[in-house]
Each structure stands twice: as structure tokens, then as C-alpha cells.
Amino acid sequence: GDSKRFTSDTSSNSGVEQAIGCYDTPVQELIVIDDLLSALVGIEGRYISIKRFHGKEESVTFQVDPSMDLALQELAKRIFPLCECFLLIDQFVESSSQFKNGLVNHAFAAALRALLLDYRAMVAQLEHQFRLGRLSLQGLWFYCQPMMGSMRALAAVIQQASAKHFVGSGVLNLLQSQAKAMAGDNSVRSLLEKMTECASNAYLSILERWVYEGIIDDPYGEFFIAENRSLKKESLSQDSTAKYWSQRYSLKETIPGFLANIAATILTTGKYLNVMRECGHNVQVPISERSKLTIFGSNHHYLECIKAAHEFASKELVTLIMDKYDLIGRLRSIKHYLLLDQGDFLVHFMDISRDELNKKVHEISVEKLQSLLDLALRTTAAAADPRHEDLTCCVDRASLLTTLGMHKDPDSNSSIEDPVSITGLETFSLSYKVQWPLSIVISKKALSKYQLIFRFLFHCKHVERQLCGAWQIHQGIRSMNSNGTAIRRSSLLCRSMLKFISSLLHYLTFEVLEPNWHVMHDRLQSTKSVDEVIQHHDFFLDKCLRGCLLLLPDVLKKMEKLKSVCLQYAAATQWLISSSIDINSQSHSQKTMIRDATV
């Protein structure tokens, strides 16, 4: 009977119905339940319609025919929020399944879809109850209760996510913070945590590839590590301001909360693996069943996995750099040449290159110096060092002081004018070819610090040699009676100058360079990661620079002055001695003449 009456009531098929008010309340209730079951899956019924607002935020409200029984109206309206939530979530699922929205959104949408499927099944069950005549409006409200809270919470999350167009870690962070905010409501909290887990699975698979293989497999740019492909590894050994190591891979702004504390570790882990791959060693962190990353479950297991991977990667890389590429040997070889601990080579080189180095800077032929350097390397003990071929020479244009000024403050463009008469002795320095991956540690910047020390030492050595020459000349005329002459005074001066310069050299080499080198050497033996190696090496260099007074321009200026006085003196000695010998021999011959005459 009911169905017949229903059919006759329908005035048209286009959905324009008679006002619901003309039915009895029990009939009205049946119609409203049927409409509500439609509305629960987002479909307009006969007397319930959807109104969409196209404002700043798209919003949807359900409306009910005003002629309905007021009590029924109120009952129906209570359920509307659930319908609105459904519509919102359904829309979100549709839109975020699109490819461009990223893996996290896909996974999140998939989890939501599974939830909505449960919801639809529930609606179908309710419909079954309704068809059996066992569902009242009150009953419907009761059955909807469990869904209400979770759907609302999800809708709130989704509203935020879609308003701000979150992708990747943004979504994960939002879900987590919401889960924490809903800590009081156990069911909602666990639902949101489950959502987070589902959504993070896709993210964690990206993370796994990075942490275990050093590869960024991130088709939609969601991962929190960015790769800057424009920075080339070759720049490390060419450009002193190269940022390869620090900026080739960098952290983005949005990092998922659960990884925030360990993000730096993750970054370095992948970076180390990547370095090894660039060297042609395909190293992968051994993966066991346990190392599959999951956020939830056994408390913070993933953190341990990441730490284990980090330890493995840094150990592998350090062994690679230390053993295969022999970093310490390399550093020792640099020390031989640039920190002057290979004496015979240096003396020989200074002997043969004296004329060339005495020229003005722009007149020096670097090729000639290079061939002299090769000669010196091949004929001295340095030939035994297999790496001596990596040594090249270069001649700077500016004096040490100017270079230091620029080194300290690279922006100021040589405010101090160089004296024109600057010679090769002051600007000559050695350079060392360093290949990847050692250029991570011995970068151009580190090498330039070595060069600064070298230039200072080299010049001191030069001054010392000149003074030694002067001393030798003095020794040659010791037998002569020089009491009261300038020679006696000059001899004293020579000794005090020599004392000064050799004390200085002794201080520089034995009290600054050697101890610091040993400290670094010991530390390098026990390092666990390349970053530590870099840190120790840089620390060593800075300490040496400071110890060599190179960071104190005032003292250094005085030092330069002293050295130039020494040089002037050494040059003058030659003249002094030869002229005094002349005088001496003249007076001597006069004496003999007188003696002859008397005889």
C-alpha cells in the first residue's frame, strides 16, 4: 500500500515534489530516512538538497524542506554534519589521487578511500535495516554516532590540508599534530595515527632509498632533502668558495616532525653513500627484514635503523678515504712540500731557482719554475714519494699581506696597494693537485691556507739563507784584525739577526706546525665520519695560521719589516766586506812598503 501511495504522490519525475508537509508524520519519517541515507553518501534526496557556496572556501550545507515536521527537521539536521564531512572527504579523495599531488597525498587518499568504503558499507547496512523496517530516525542517529567524531576530525584535517595545498611532509606534519591535539579522544587519535602511518609509508620508501642507497627517488618533490645539481664536484678543487659539500644536498624547510631531530643525520647518511657512488663504489647499506622503516610499532625502531645506516655509511666512507685514497699519506705529502719538512728538496730548489725568483712578479716564467721544480723533485729524496708529480708551482700577484687581507675579508678588493718591487720570492707558492673524493677534505680553500703558510715559511727561509751567506763572508775574514772596524759591529749584528730568524723558524716549525700536525694525525686515526675529518683538518689549519701569526696583521707587518731589514743588511754586507778588505789590503801593502823602505 505504501509504495502505491508513494508513486501517486510523485507529481513529476524532475524531482519537484509535493511539499512533504502533506504527509503524515510516520510517512514523513520514512521519506526522511530514505533521503538521509542518500544524503549520507552525498546525494540529494527528494526533500533534502545540497547548497554549495562558492566563496573563499568552497563549503557545502544541506537543507531540508521547511514544510517538514519540526521535530523530524531537528532530528535530520543533526545528521547533516556527517553528510557534509562525507562530501568533503570524498572530494578530497578524488582530487588528491591525481598524479601531481604527490605520493603522500595519494597514500593518504587511499587510506581515506578505505575508510569511506567502510562508511558506505555501513550506509548499505542501514539501508538493509531500513528495508526491514527496523530503522527509525532516532536509530539512524544512534548508528551514526561512532562515525561522527572520526569523520569530523578527518574533515577538519582535510579542510586545512586542501586550503593550504599541503603536499608531502606538510600533510604528514598536519596529521601528526592533529593526532596529538586529539590525544584525549582515543578512537580519533588512533584513527589519525593510522592515517599518518598509511600516508607516511610512501614517504618512508623515499627515505629508505636515500638512507640505504643514497639515491633521491622523489618524482613529485616531496622529500625534505633537495639536490642542487648545478654544483659540480669538480668545483671543490678549483674554486675556493665552492659550496659543493655544504650545499649540494640541503634540507628543505618542511621536515616531517617525526624526523626533525634526525634530519641532519639522514642528510649526511645519504650524502656519504652518494660520495661513494660518485667514486664508483656502489655501496648499499645491508638491508635486513628488521631495517624496513615504519614509524609506529616498536618504539622508535626507525630511529635506530637510521642511526645504524648512518654509522655504516660514515664508517665505509672514512675507510674508503683513508685506505683506498690514502688521505693521511696525501696530507703527509702535502706537509713535506708545503710545510717545508722535506729539507733537501727545498734547499736544492732554492739554489737552482734563485735567479728566476729574484725577478719581478710579472717577469717570472712559471714554466721555467715548473721545470726547475721538477728537476728539484726528481733529484732529491722527494723522488721516492709517488705523489710528487701532483706538485705544481704558481706565482701570485699580490704580497702576502694583501692576500691575507683578501683571505680574511674577500669582499674588500685589495685596499692595500702593493709595492711595485715585489719579487717572486714573496709571491711564489706551491700547489697540489687533489682529486675527488679527497677534494672534500683538501678543498681549494684548505689548500690556499696551506699556501699562505708556505709563502711565509718560504720567505723566512730565504731571509735565513741570505743571512747565512753574510755570516759565511764574515767567517772568511775572521783571521783579519778587525778590532774597532765596522766589520766587528756588522758581525755582531749578523749574529743577532741570525738568532732572530732561526728562532722564528724554529718556533714556526717545531712549536707550531709539528705539534699541531701530530694532534691532527692522532685525531684522524679515530674519526668516524668524513665531517669529523674535515673538521679536524680545518681546525689544524686554523690553528697553524694563528700560530704562524698570519692572523695578526700588526705583528706580521713588523715581521715583514724586520725581514726586509735583514735582507737589506745581507745585501749590504757583501759591499761592506769587499770594500773593507780593499782598505785593509791597501793599508797592509802600505805597511809592507814602509817596511821595505825602512829595510
Which residues are near other proteins by CB under 8 A?
1-3, 6-10, 12-15, 30, 34-35, 37-38, 41, 43-46, 97, 99, 102-110, 113, 116-117, 120-121, 123-124, 127-128, 130-133, 199, 201-202, 219-220, 365, 367-368, 371
**Cell numbers at 113, concatenated:** 578511500
CA distance 341 to 397: 26
Cα distance between residue 210 and residue 268, in whole Å: 10
Taking the C-alpha atoms of residue 347 and residue 333, their distance in angstroms, rounded to an integer, is 17
Q: How many beta carbons lie within 10 A of that of residue 527, not counting itself?
A: 18
Q: How far is CA 553 from CA 114, 445, 449, 477, 550, in A?
A: 71, 20, 15, 40, 7
Minimum separation from the CB atom of position 165 to other proteins (A): 16
Which CB sits closer to other proteins, 128 or 546?
128
CB of 306 to other proteins, least distance (A): 21
Q: Which is nearer to other proteins, 55 or 280 (CB)?
A: 280
- Residue written as cell 706546525? 513
Three-state SS at 55: coil
**Whole-number Cα distances in Å, 486 to 155, 193, 474, 590:** 101, 94, 12, 21
Instruction: Give me the least distance between CB of 74 and other proteins, in Å please.
Output: 22
- Min. distance of Cβ 491 from other proteins in angstroms? 38
CA distance linking residue 69 with residue 25, whole number of Å: 7
At closest approach, how far in Å is the CB of 81 from other proteins?
19
Cβ-based nearer residue to other proteins, 130 or 450: 130
Work out whether the CA dihedral 9, 12, 17, 18 comes out positive or negative. Answer: negative
- Pick between residue 371 and residue 535 the one whose CB is nearest to other proteins: 371
Residue 338 grid coordinates: 708545503
Q: Which set of grid coordinates corresponds to residue 284?
A: 648499499
CA end-to-end span of the chain: 172
> Residue 558 Cβ, how far from other proteins at the closest point, in Å?
39
Rg of the chain over Cα atoms, rounded to whole angstroms, equals 42
**Helix, strand, coil percent values for the chain (each to nearest 5):** 70, 5, 25
Q: Least distance in Å: CB of 35 to other proteins?
A: 7
Q: Which is nearer to other proteins, 105 or 529 (CB)?
A: 105
- Spell out the alpha helix ranges (H) of 97-223: 103-131, 137-163, 169-181, 186-213
Instruction: Specify the residue, 32 or 339, whose C-beta has the smaller distance to other proteins.
Output: 32
Nearest-10 crossing angle of helices 263-278, 301-319: 40
CB of 210 to other proteins, least distance (A): 16
CA distance 213 to 207: 10
Nearest to 324 by CA among 287, 369, 281, 292: 281
| CA nearest neighbour of 295 among 188, 205, 405 | 205
Closer of 204 and 321 to other proteins (Cβ): 204
In the complex, least distance from residue 99 CB atom to other proteins, rounded to whole angstroms: 7
206 or 313, CB closer to other proteins?
Answer: 206
Judged by CB, which is closer to other proteins: 2, or 596? 2
Least separation in angstroms between CB 168 and other proteins: 10
Minimum Å gap between C-beta 579 and other proteins is: 32
CB-wise, 21 or 515, nearer to other proteins? 21
Which CB, 37 or 504, lies closer to other proteins?
37
Question: Which lies closer to other proteins via its Cβ, residue 65 or residue 426?
Answer: 65
Q: Are 391 and 431 in contact (CB under 8 A)?
A: yes
Answer for the pair 244, 236: CB distance below 8 angstroms, yes or no. Answer: yes
Residues facing 60 on adjacent strands: 52
Distance between CA atoms of residues 182 and 357, nearest Å: 77
In whole angstroms, give the CA distance from residue 313 to residue 394.
Answer: 37
Smallest distance, other proteins to C-beta of residue 87, A: 13
Cis peptide bond prior to 515, omega within 30° of 0: no
Q: Which is nearer to other proteins, 70 or 132 (CB)?
A: 132
CB 285 within 8 A of CB 210: no
The least CB distance from residue 285 to other proteins, in Å, is 14
